A and B are shown apart, each in its own frame.
Chain A
């Protein structure tokens, strides 16, 4: 079983909300000081999904990450968790993309890798929460896709999947090769072992430039965008919280109930 997992480096979504700052002129997020970036947590579920299959029936797991200035210690995490290979699409030209330019570059890289049975993506990424790259790669490569998957059992050129729905879940059979986006219900991603970390240190990622995957600068990154960001803002919310007090916590509790009734929230 040949598996490819798409990952990326992001600003740590668990960083304190107060550290989150926007540059309103550039319509950009200012990376918080002293907070190290991480692998997108949604993508980590994808790594975990692939490694579960590798555990059960063997296979090769290749992680592919796209971006500029990728910190090796961060993006090597899938290797430390148990992936076999890491390919970095790394160039300034890849920067500033949207779902379109990202899916296109990843699809072309996957084409170059050539052999695959399952491609994994997170259900979305924690920065832009776009939720489209997985489906986009499948569309570009002409593959079947199943999204929001929480369980995968490949067998005989097919895979039996559980897909999370609004009502519960459904069991879906899909022909391979296919693309799967993974939901958090797949289970917590494993921690890298010491052995894994040591192994990852010795492994160098393969770096591909746009020309290596046969794409033009106009098709990727900021130039390849199909959607325009008009404005990025932080909704104002500070200072509107009305505090309800009391002589004791009990009294405050009762006062809060009275307050909610008074303002007809209840």
Chain B
């Protein structure tokens, strides 16, 4: 195999556009490619995705590989691995990046094993080591209690990146790039799964993963009525309500609201943690938040080690006043 060169981004699409994670990865990939003095490529896989190549170029790609085939409409491990094996073989990248999504988490490890290389999933930071020129892959381990920096000396070096940890470039529609069509060449009998149905989660308001502001409650909220107050604050801030495990186990809130090790992973601009202690299992789901604000009656609670701003006191008394004052300030 020729020497591996450049950075390849697997671009997910959503509703006929590049997914937000794809633009974030292109922004990050551009920087890594420039640091290496090499090319940034993108790959689009799906049905009816050809049109998006120019969008990928506007967001920073020098070259876009397009595999457009009706058989690729739905993500399926076997078909996508087969297509990506072909593209990676052709592009021979030094680095392959995917999003830490339900797709990326499935595709990245299988590709890594197929190419006898390694992957790091859920990275927060990526950089090129100035000496070895290898990709430094930083990710949370032990449920967020620690972070690890990994390297791989087999190629491609594969990583998935958490949403909202990288910044997209301003799209430049005048950027020029090359588009390379790749035939899917799928053998339908080699695809051992079939997608029968796709069911969208019922949500009222903003999705937790997309919310810029999250108001999260813990065991100390005490019941569903308490969460109604959190809902009010979330609504005011155009955010979403999350919870630690106990409120979900007690059915004060739906199971889908759980943030943490065994729940959702979020990284909002602002995370308001109310009456929750900040166990590692919970923090691993929200430690990527930009600013954490905590209200808790226990001054020793771990959440105050994680928070930027804190209030020690009974949330039942502090929260209504907090919400009221914010209403006033935001109106003024």
Contact = CB atoms under 8 A, between A and B. Distances in A.
Interface of A: 11, 13-18, 20, 22, 29, 41-42, 98-100, 103, 123-124, 126-132, 134-136, 138-140, 144-148, 160, 163-175, 178, 184-185, 188, 226-235, 237-238, 240-245, 248-254, 256-261, 265-266
B237 interface: yes
Given A146-B193, A171-B195, A249-B317, A259 B146 contact: no
Contacts, number: 272
Interface in B193-208: 193-201
A22 B209 CA distance: 31
A144 B78 contact: yes
Interface in B108-131: 108-110, 112-114, 116-122
Interface residues of B, number: 91
A178 B191 CA distance: 13
Interface of B is mostly: mixed
B112 A132 contact: yes
B294 A252 contact: no
Contacts of A17: 145, 278-280, 283, 302, 305
Contact of A135 (B113, B284, B293, B302): B113
Interface stretch (B40-48, B214-222, B324-332): B324-332
Nearest to B294: A241
Contacts of B151: 227-228, 230
A184 B263 contact: yes
B182 to A, nearest CB: 22
Contacts of B314: 249
Contacts of A188: 249
Contacts of B308: 240-242
A13 B328 CA distance: 42
Interface in B148-180: 148-154
A265 to B, nearest CB: 5
A158 to B, nearest CB: 9
Contacts of B325: 253-254, 257-258
A128 B141 contact: yes
A136 B139 CA distance: 20
A259 to B, nearest CB: 6
Interface stretch (B1-9, B25-33, B58-66, B99-107): B99-107
B142 A227 contact: no
Contact of A256 (B117, B279, B309): B309
A113 B117 CA distance: 27
A241 B154 contact: no
Nearest to B329: A261
25 contacts: A20-B142, A29-B142, A130-B121, A131-B109, A132-B119, A136-B112, A136-B113, A144-B77, A170-B197, A171-B196, A178-B192, A185-B255, A188-B249, A233-B148, A241-B308, A244-B309, A245-B311, A252-B312, A252-B313, A253-B311, A254-B321, A260-B270, A260-B326, A265-B269, A265-B291
B152 A146 contact: no
